[in-house]
């Protein structure tokens, strides 16, 4: 049974805290198991990756069959019906157009002291993309991860995707082809993360790993950080819907279940100012669950972690609750959607209005669907073009410029007790040293 809270109740603060603090992440033993797999891959390379793929995916590979061939990719593209392929291409066009606008520009200026300062952006050399292949196939995830890397100019984009029993959805390979992925390997789990981070005889290492996966993938990404960069530690999916009573309850119920069907640990929460509407949404959820193909997963999520919160006034009460959750996805279906959104500080992505379901953002609105979860929207953003770029600062001093600011640098170096620092400036300015 879904949790029902009312802001008017005396114990609402405690109940709300319990709702958003419910443990949905993996247990500690997942991290330990992932660590052992990573160590083995680092030590044995291809052999370890092959052994774990056989064990977990039921797929016997050799170093020669780790990589998916060009012919296999072409066959997958040919197997996709024209209408679906056109939909993928439309999604790619929209994602590309949005992420191209996120490209930063190099900067250069000369300040009042005559010092030339600037910054330049350069792409990462090699990026690994993890694409889930367990509970469902996600060609949209391929596009969302690979296209920003391509737009940033990354010269080598490597994709790993588990193929249990050798089966892979052709849409995943078609999306990789559209997105311009350079290499694809039929491996997943912590072993795939290890292969990308440490390299093997067959798979050259990358510099950054992005993309969501299961608990073992998340744990592995956490442990290889430092050897490589990572985008984020992705937790179970989340949606928070702020909706008034003028909405169709069936629409809002479907929105809530759109994330609940991802995983039993996903979380879907409704905030509304209309108690009767809350009842209608709860009933509509039950109706949808009778016919959805992934009803068992969605039911476990909704009953285990879902919530409905009734407040007195959406504009007054909802933003504060939203910021406490810092949700991955936030829908605001209200006539005051813009005003409410303006007061929200923490959300991975915001979907405004009654005709903007979060699911449109999962596929082809344009912004990325790889977003911060588990409250991390308080300090991080969704995946974007800049995640595949590095910023390098530029400094050039003329003799006059160094003379203007150098003495202050010498004083600061002396204050910190770093003599060579001070000397490297003073020697250029002929400042006497004691």
- Catalytic sites, residue numbers: 328-329
CA distances from 182 to 53, 156, 205, 279 (A): 22, 6, 14, 50
Token representation of residue 381: 């953003």
Helix, strand, or coil (residue 367): coil
Name the residue with tokens 């008017």.
8
C-alpha dihedral, 28 to 32 to 37 to 41, nearest 10°: 120
Q: How far apart are CA 167 and CA 149, in angstroms?
A: 26
Q: How far apart are CA 134 and CA 294, in angstroms?
A: 14
Q: How far apart are CA 390 and CA 394, in angstroms?
A: 13
Q: Residue 64 gets which letter from DSSP?
A: G
Q: How far apart are CA 351 and CA 291, in angstroms?
A: 26
Q: How far apart are CA 109 and CA 24, in angstroms?
A: 48
Q: How far apart are CA 280 and CA 84, in angstroms?
A: 34
Name the residue with tokens 């912004």.
367
How many helices (H) and strands (E) the chain has is answered by 17, 14
Helix, strand, or coil (residue 182): coil
Q: How many CB atoms lie within 10 A of CB 150?
A: 21
Instruction: Give the angle subtended at the CA of 71 by the CAs of 171 and 64, to the nearest 5°.
Output: 105
Q: Residue 292 gets which letter from DSSP?
A: -
| Edge-first strand listing for the sheet containing 349-352 | 3-6, 307-310, 267-272, 238-243, 329-333, 349-352
CA distances from 179 to 96, 140, 325 (A): 9, 11, 33
DSSP character string of 402-427? HHHHHHHHHHHHHHTT-HHHHHHHHH
Instruction: Judge contact between 152 and 388, C-beta under 8 A.
Output: yes
Using alpha carbons, select from 321, 396, 341, 424 the residue that is nearest to residue 110.
396
Token representation of residue 257: 């279940």
Q: How far apart are CA 219 and CA 224, in angstroms?
A: 9
């Amino acid at each position: 049974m879904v949790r029902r809270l009312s802001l008017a109740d005396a114990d609402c603060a405690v109940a709300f805290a319990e709702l958003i603090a419910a443990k949905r992440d993996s247990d500690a033993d997942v991290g330990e198991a992932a660590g052992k797999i990573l160590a083995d891959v680092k030590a044995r390379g291809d052999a370890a990756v092959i052994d774990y793929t056989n064990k977990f995916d039921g797929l016997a590979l050799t170093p020669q069959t780790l990589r998916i061939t060009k012919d296999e990719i072409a066959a997958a593209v040919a197997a996709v019906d024209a209408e679906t392929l056109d939909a993928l291409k439309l999604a790619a066009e929209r994602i590309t157009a949005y992420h191209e606008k996120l490209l930063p520009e190099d900067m250069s200026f000369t300040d009042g002291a005559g010092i030339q300062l600037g910054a330049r952006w350069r792409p990462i050399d090699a990026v690994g993309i993890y694409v889930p292949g367990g509970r469902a196939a996600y060609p949209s995830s391929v596009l969302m991860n690979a296209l920003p890397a391509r737009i940033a100019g990354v010269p080598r984009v490597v994709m790993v995707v588990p193929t249990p029993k050798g089966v892979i959805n052709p849409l995943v390979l078609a999306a990789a082809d559209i997105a311009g992925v350079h290499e694809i390997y039929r491996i997943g789990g912590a072993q795939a993360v290890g292969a990308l981070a440490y390299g093997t005889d067959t798979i050259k290492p990358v510099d950054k790993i992005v993309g969501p996966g299961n608990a073992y993938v998340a744990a592995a990404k956490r442990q290889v950080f430092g050897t490589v960069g990572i985008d984020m530690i992705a937790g179970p999916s989340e949606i928070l819907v702020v909706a008034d009573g003028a909405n169709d309850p069936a629409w809002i119920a479907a929105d809530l279940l759109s994330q609940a069907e991802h995983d039993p640990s996903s979380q879907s929460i409704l905030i509304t100012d209309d108690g009767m509407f809350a009842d209608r949404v709860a009933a509509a959820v039950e109706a949808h669950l009778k016919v959805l193909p992934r009803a068992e997963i969605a039911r476990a999520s909704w009953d285990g972690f879902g919530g409905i919160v009734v407040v007195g006034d959406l504009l007054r009460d909802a933003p504060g609750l939203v910021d406490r959750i810092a949700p991955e996805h936030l829908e605001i279906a209200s006539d005051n959607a813009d005003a409410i959104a303006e007061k929200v500080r923490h959300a991975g992505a915001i979907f405004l209005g009654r005709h903007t379901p979060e699911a449109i953002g999962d596929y082809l609105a344009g912004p990325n669907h790889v977003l911060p979860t588990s409250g991390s929207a308080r300090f991080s953003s969704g995946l974007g073009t800049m995640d595949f770029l590095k910023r390098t600062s530029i400094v050039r001093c003329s003799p006059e410029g160094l003379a203007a600011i150098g003495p202050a640098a010498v004083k600061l170096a002396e204050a910190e007790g770093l003599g060579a620092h001070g000397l490297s400036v003073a020697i250029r300015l002929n400042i006497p040293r004691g």
